Structure 1
Amino acid sequence: MPRPVPRRTLIAGSAAAAMMPVSALAVGHSEQAAGSDPGGHGASPVLKLRLLETSDLHMYIDAYDYYRSRVDDNVGLARVATLTRAARAEVANAMLFDNGDIIQGNPLGDYVAQPGHLDPAQGHPIFRAMNHLGYDAATLGNHEFNYGLPFLEASIKGARFPFVCANVEHVDGSPFVPRFTVLDRTFTDEAGVAHTLKIGVIGFTPPQIMVWDALRLNGKLRAQDIVDAARRYIPELRARCDLLVVLCHSGISAEPRVGGDENAALYVAGVPGVDVIFTGHAHRVFPGPDYSGLKGVDAVAGTLAGKPAIMPGFWGSHLGVVDLVLKRSADGWRVDSFHTEVRPISQRRDGKVIPLTQDDTAICEVVEPEHKATIAWMAKPVGMTAVPIDTYFAFVGPDPSISLVNEAQLWYTRPLLAGTEAAKFPLLSAAAPFSAGGMGSGAFVDIPAGPLTMKDIASIYVFANTISVVRCTGAEVREWLERSAIAFNTVTAGEKTPQALLAADRQTYNFDVIAGLTYEIDVTRPPRYDQSGEVINATSHRINDLRYAGRPVRADDVFVVVTNNYRAGGGGSFPGTGQKKIVLNAPDGNRDAVLRFVADRKRVDPPSAPVWRFAKPVAPTIVTVDLPTSAEALASSRPDLRRLSGAPGGLIRYGLTLA
């Protein structure tokens, strides 16, 4: 689960670029050699080649929001396909690649992954669409493994283009998919002469798949460090090709490499032999301001370690474009100059989303059967809720969506632990508000009292996680909550000017609330941890008055905590988690547990009693949260919130007094 960026942030940034002249549109232009013959005459042919990239599509094929049953102009391969056809029409030579996280990520992906829903004769719908669009190659993202190896293998059989991944292999050392491939492609140079080039393509995915999907992969696959695999296999591929393209499903970090890094694209770009590197995983846009100021990164020119690079957002928000000018000399073809660009499918203007392209209707037609079936599946009723369930206020107090998930996880897990050693310890449950403004489109859960459908359950629990249980001490539980509490800024008690409560880089899926406990969060104290799980303020403690059943939690208390496989395996680097801590890996998904709980109860009433509260500062302090207009009616019914003003992105700013 990479850190998501609010969709409004991406659209705002890319919209500004979209309105610039082409020469200023996040362009990198590196004159690596002088004296090129622009006409392609003489002994040094010049060939222009355009490389196109998509990444992190996450099954967003149609421009459609299955959670809200409406068109979404921010997403969709169908929209990117229109940009792709236009980009191809502008040049003589083009290739198209995908950088992973393809088959999982929205209800369409979940529907197809249900037993019996993937028709081998027809093939997986997203690969039918990608075949229609004519992809040249792809790599595996970490989410490709979420539904298990049998489903992944059955799915990629339908792709009429090669998958490559150099750092994932079977336990016997044989590659899971080819580590790399060499594509023979015939292109036309500037003089109209045809040349056949060998395009080498190699892929990588985060080695953390062995943590995040340990239950599905242990004993079957193993994953190498990305850079170690790159250094091992790139020289072999370089000797076989004229141009070497890296499909790196990994983000960009300029921190010193430690080995096993999740975000390793910059390090790979520095491996000798790389010509172009495509990145992804981080759900961001590059070139762009997100990566300004990093050593080895040119966020304007679009280079990593001097190599042209692209990261095209997520869910089909952008098309990545790298234009190469190749020149042939006695030593073969080399990159003479380049131009990098990201093309958005929409932009935000005056708080509204403006589409910049339209559907490729052929792509929509290819996936229409599964699209319609998913809509029908999502509308299926499963129970009732006695109260509204929303996530607008998940960071300011009791949240009904988290309460429902925690209640369901406890209900599901108790029978499984009965009769085991773990049953003698108090059982807690950890859950986070996935859709609370950080998963794109300003997404929030907003379910009125009344019927609950599959769509509602899927909006509450968006990931294909499975139930896991860990055993940890009271001291570890306290540190777990300290890690969770980094979602908040540090505020100054008594400050007269309202202060933003939420950290800009908060990860909603890492704000765990642990049911079965009560505790305070003191936001006037600096965070103890950073996003990587490292202690940065050793003397600071935000978690106070931690209690179980009314009594203070002692450091040597022992608890078992039900969570998901991602967290239990160490995802997010939370204290108290990791493979050695796991006492149960259940066969069912967390969403399935919620679904069964609702169906069993028929009518649910998520508890509103607070698990946590803010500690009172030494003087009254006003903090602010920005919420969409859809939260206005609910916010007006809360006496603790006061509307202050408008906020960027068409939001409303509310004040909360800590006193």
Structure 2
Amino acid sequence: MYKKGLKTTIVLLLLFCLSVNFLASQPTLEIPSAQNLVILGTTDLHGNVWGFSYENDKDTTNTGMARIATYVEKVRREENNVVLVDNGDTIQGNIMTDDLYNKREGEHPVMRAMNILAYDSMTLGNHEFNFGQNLISRLQMLANFPILAANMARIDGTMGAEPYTIIERSGIKIGIIGVTNPNAPRWDGEKTDPFVYAPVGPAVRKVVDIIKDKVDVIIVTSHVGIYPEYDEEGGSDGAKSILELCPEVDVLIVGHDHNAIKEIRGTTVIGGARNLGREVIRIDLALNENKEIIDRKVELVDMANYEPSDLIRKNAFIAEAHKATRDFISGGAPSADGKSSGGIFGQASVDFQPKNEILGIPEGKLRDTAVMDLINEVQLLNSGADVSAAALFADTSNIPKGDINYGTIFGIYKYDNTLYRVEVTGSELKAYMEWSAACYNQYKSGDMSISFNPEKPGYLYDMFAGVDYEIDLSKPVGQRIRNVMFKGKPLANDQRLTLAVNNYRYSSALKAQKLVAGTKEWESPNSIRDMLVEYIKAQKTIVPKVDNNWKIVGVNLASPYRDAVVKLVNEGKLEVPYAKALNVDELKKQGIIK
């Protein structure tokens, strides 16, 4: 490993040298009258080219690059000056990308679609690093546009991606700066070792200083949210620092957290969209004859209003990739490593996940369920560990009664993670469990439901097998884990045991949060998804098993009003209480309970 100081020095030196080697001067054209410049931005597409849910084998109604193509074509017919940029997490996220095309050489359906749409730039997101340096290099070769990351360099002293690009529309010179998420090493560990990352704000500041006198409009595509995710004090991973350090920025596209944002701060227009291509960020800038911005507006355009374009769906290569993915799921075609998904390879005797009592509140995070017990059982069997941890990545995850194919498994385990085994102490395991339990809000008197901390996404909530435990939600964060038992006895703080955990959680929580001192002693040769497939193939028919090894305590949700209030939520008459519990006292104040 290299020391942090050396990494930072390399990045800063490389950024400083940009002004010497990168920018070529361009002639200036006069604009005869005021013009409109339209910036269209996409973010967090997660491989959704077709507008299709492969795990469910059906078209979506409001997502995908095919719908985006229809909208982009429309805007280009209506407007003379259109810029199209992407903000990352573009190449990962479904069976087509993760199981087939990210693992093979040659053409890629996502890059083909982006080339068809003539993107002006793409910024690397953190999920672009999931498959290592080779995929990054492949994307750079396939793209007909620059791939950006001004805050990333290779450890060998070269830039990892282009820091910016300058394009022109009717004489308007537009600088596009891209910054990736500096937390990528936290999540992808060894896969990011060839690269070093700098804070987003200072990186953008350096490039702005290089180009600000050469362009009329500055766009920043930043694969971070507005506010810092981990570095709350330094702000290195939040776009807020870009706003503070770079008032010259005219347009700021944010992403990563899948939040819809449209606002103007000072003279900077900010846009962020939800994932999978549900929305396109549209920013209109009016420029006068001196190329000065005299008006600005931002909107999020809902793709539910647009039909998929034949430009994408009738492209021969994309259509074949879509068919190959469906064939892979049905067992009719191999994946990139030559393996078949097996088609229908098992049966579920009944639904594995209980129905939600309250609309939008997943029962799978309120109690132990068969889906989580299955995942943890498979992890324990394959790793030989004492304890296993896993998350319910999607609130809707289920193994429904009937046929099981690869899409079913993707539905309960959507990431291409491998499995690690690491030695931990009793106190380290408890610290990890406390970290996980922070995903809940603290119970307060009058609450009729359990709610979740909106700052801690559900995919960060791990459930544990191999130990029995209680989560006391009457306590604050850090004091919730109680009565941890291992093999029928209280788990001692100095007791040593082994833990099965996926590679992502190992990097992003156990090591990044300094929860565990030990290092991995074993890594699986295959993915956790593959382990689940092989287990079910061997079982042929799987039956739900729940050992109820954990439970929530410290709450009293009983109330004479509860049934009526839950009914209002389920009928859509009250907001889903995901981030804030249904509380008797507060509902009385609002006049909902008399």
Does TM-score exceed 0.5, indicating one fold? yes
- The alignment status of 1:358 with 2:307, answered yes or no, reads yes
- The alignment status of 1:372 with 2:323, answered yes or no, reads yes
Distance 1:583 1:592, change over 3 A: same
CA contact (8 A) 1:164 1:203 kept: yes
2: CA distance, partners of 1:458 / 1:391: 19
Give the secondary structure class of the aligned counterpart of 1:447: coil
Give the equivalent residue in structure 2 for 1:297: none
Residue by residue, what CA displacement relative to the aligned partner does 1:523-581 show, whole Å, maximum 9, x if unpaired? 222333xxxxxxxxxxxx22111111111112222232111122111249885646864
Give the equivalent residue in structure 1 for 2:244: 270
TM-score where L is the length of structure 2: 0.81
2:176 pairs, out of 187, 192, 201, with 201
1:394 pairs, out of 364, 374, 397, with 364
Aligned residues: 528
Deviation at 1:411, TM superposition (A): 1.8
Give the equivalent residue in structure 1 for 2:25: none
1: CA distance, partners of 2:570 / 2:556: 29
Deviation at 1:400, TM superposition (A): 1.6
Give the equivalent residue in structure 2 for 1:430: 389
- The alignment status of 1:130 with 2:114, answered yes or no, reads yes
Deviation at 1:225, TM superposition (A): 1.8
Give the equivalent residue in structure 2 for 1:553: 491
Identify which range, 303-312 or 643-652, moves more after superposition.
Answer: 643-652
1: CA distance, partners of 2:164 / 2:517: 31
2: CA distance, partners of 1:242 / 1:162: 20
Give the secondary structure class of the aligned counterpart of 1:431: strand
CA contact (8 A) 2:250 2:267 kept: no
Deviation at 1:167, TM superposition (A): 1.3
CA contact (8 A) 1:410 1:427 kept: yes
CA contact (8 A) 2:149 2:180 kept: yes
Residue by residue, what CA displacement relative to the aligned partner does 1:500-526 show, whole Å, maximum 9, x if unpaired? 444455522111011101111122223
- The alignment status of 1:142 with 2:142, answered yes or no, reads no
Give the secondary structure class of the aligned counterpart of 1:68: coil
2: CA distance, partners of 1:370 / 1:254: 37
- The alignment status of 1:151 with 2:135, answered yes or no, reads yes
1:277-356 equivalence runs, <5 A:
277-287=252-262, 302-304=263-265, 306-327=267-288, 329=290, 333-346=291-304, 356=305
- The alignment status of 1:491 with 2:454, answered yes or no, reads no
Deviation at 1:182, TM superposition (A): 1.9
Q: Give the gaps of 5 or more residues in structure 1.
A: 1-41, 188-194, 288-301, 347-355, 415-425, 437-443, 529-540, 627-641
Distance 1:587 1:155, change over 3 A: farther
- The alignment status of 1:517 with 2:491, answered yes or no, reads no
Distance 1:104 1:501, change over 3 A: same
Deviation at 1:388, TM superposition (A): 2.9
1:68-147 equivalence runs, <5 A:
68-113=56-101, 115-116=103-104, 118=105, 120=106, 123-147=107-131
TM-score where L is the length of structure 1: 0.73
Give the equivalent residue in structure 2 for 1:610: 548
Distance 1:490 1:266, change over 3 A: same
**Paired-residue identity, %:** 27
Give the equivalent residue in structure 1 for 2:42: 54
Deviation at 1:394, TM superposition (A): 0.6
2: CA distance, partners of 1:371 / 1:517: 43
User: Which structure dedicates a bigger proportion of its chain to helix?
Assistant: 2
CA contact (8 A) 2:182 2:199 kept: yes
1: CA distance, partners of 2:31 / 2:285: 19
Deviation at 1:251, TM superposition (A): 0.5
Letter in 2 for 1:499: S
1:522-601 equivalence runs, <5 A:
522-528=472-478, 541-571=479-509, 577=515, 581-601=519-539
Deviation at 1:484, TM superposition (A): 1.7
Distance 1:244 1:450, change over 3 A: same
CA contact (8 A) 1:286 1:309 kept: yes
CA contact (8 A) 2:375 2:390 kept: yes
Identify which range, 578-587 or 222-231, moves more after superposition.
Answer: 578-587
1: CA distance, partners of 2:560 / 2:328: 44
CA contact (8 A) 1:63 1:71 kept: yes
Residue by residue, what CA displacement relative to the aligned partner does 1:568-620 show, whole Å, maximum 9, x if unpaired? 11249885646864444444322222223333444444531112112265795
2: CA distance, partners of 1:374 / 1:401: 25
2: CA distance, partners of 1:616 / 1:606: 28
Letter in 2 for 1:343: V
Distance 1:618 1:161, change over 3 A: closer
User: Which structure dedicates a bigger proportion of its chain to strand?
Assistant: 1
Root mean square deviation of aligned Cα:
3.2
Deviation at 1:229, TM superposition (A): 1.8
CA contact (8 A) 1:431 1:563 kept: yes
